[in-house]
A = this chain, B = another copy of it.
């Protein structure tokens, strides 16, 4: 605790930049010294809120005291920025995904897989305290050998249809988190996938060529099975659960609620709503992954997820898309 805070720069003043920026500013082990965003207004506004100067990327990277960079720009810029940072030896915290194109990732495999500075790709759900408690018990043998897994990820309401064409499709945009969770929790790489998906929520999503409701089954070489449930509109909040079934029992990580309040009436007992959206539901995980990055910068930890996790989740998404297109079981490429 006695070490000086590590100096970091934030790239991107958008939605995720604001989340990571606020958490970095509040983290006593990080010192946010530069904010970089080419849009002057957005940059100035967030900089003021964070009490952090605006800088150019070049100036920030030229600072020898800078230890790390938080990349929270638009997805299509992630990879180039990450490479630029790594090249000058800065540790990187990159908002997910690293890139949406497996071929591009593989083209840079040499540097990304063994980077000259640490590279953390922000699969934040691995840092959610509820899922982490499950993982800890699972690893501790509480339910014996894991046999099947069920991941539930339901959004409260669909995005505007205009978002769909730029999203990369349900599997790359949305299920990608579940693919990473599956890889993390299964303890073994999924070997095959079968995807079933429909457009049940909003015809505009179908018109844009996408689906909004999906059930996928992943199978590992050992026979271990994983079901993923997705919908873009639950009607009851942001539903994020993990169910792990093993030889000796089961572990269930459920939804935290807005409060512990129960209302008892003749209609029954009403528990308070679950969280309505991801920023509130996953607030603790965003803080915890910055703590992890602080550990990485302090040399006390290696990044939990990087190139392999990014490529692995992406290859699962691509296999699922192919399964859906071709109506058949598809083998998953190894990352």
Judge whether A269 is part of the interface by a CB distance below 8 angstroms.
Answer: yes
Q: How many copies does the complex hold?
A: 4
| Contact status of A261 and B251, CB under 8 A, knowing A225-B215, A245-B231, A245-B234 | yes
Q: Are A264 and B236 in contact (CB under 8 A)?
A: yes
Chain B residues closer than 8 Å to A249, beta-carbon distance: 234-236, 263-266
Task: Say which residue of B217, B247, B260 sits within 8 Å of A196 (CB atoms).
Answer: B217
Nearest B residue to A276, CB-CB:
B266
Chain B residues closer than 8 Å to A273, beta-carbon distance: 266-269
Chain B residues closer than 8 Å to A235, beta-carbon distance: 143-144, 246-250, 265-266
User: How long is the Cα–Cα vector from A296 to B107 in the complex, in angstroms?
Assistant: 58
Q: Are A253 and B260 in contact (CB under 8 A)?
A: yes
Chain B residues closer than 8 Å to A177, beta-carbon distance: none
Judge whether A130 is part of the interface by a CB distance below 8 angstroms.
Answer: yes
Judge whether A9 is part of the interface by a CB distance below 8 angstroms.
Answer: no
Q: Are B247 and A264 in contact (CB under 8 A)?
A: no
User: How long is the Cα–Cα vector from A325 to B259 in the complex, in angstroms?
Assistant: 39
Within 8 A of B (CB), among A285-335: 327-329
Q: Are B233 and A247 in contact (CB under 8 A)?
A: yes
Is the interface on chain A under 10, 10 to 19, 20 to 34, or 35 or more residues?
35 or more
Judge whether A271 is part of the interface by a CB distance below 8 angstroms.
Answer: yes
Q: Are B250 and A236 in contact (CB under 8 A)?
A: yes
User: How long is the Cα–Cα vector from A276 to B262 in the complex, in angstroms?
Assistant: 18
Q: Are A259 and B200 in contact (CB under 8 A)?
A: no
Chain B residues closer than 8 Å to A231, beta-carbon distance: 147-148, 245
Task: Say which residue of B26, B251, B258, B276 sits within 8 Å of A26 (CB atoms).
Answer: B26
Interface residues of A (CB under 8 A from B): 26, 28, 49, 129-130, 133-134, 137, 142-144, 147-148, 150, 154, 194, 196, 198-201, 213, 215, 217, 219, 223-225, 227, 229, 231, 233-237, 239, 245-274, 276, 327-329
CB pairs A–B below 8 angstroms (5 shown)? A144-B235, A148-B231, A233-B247, A264-B274, A267-B273
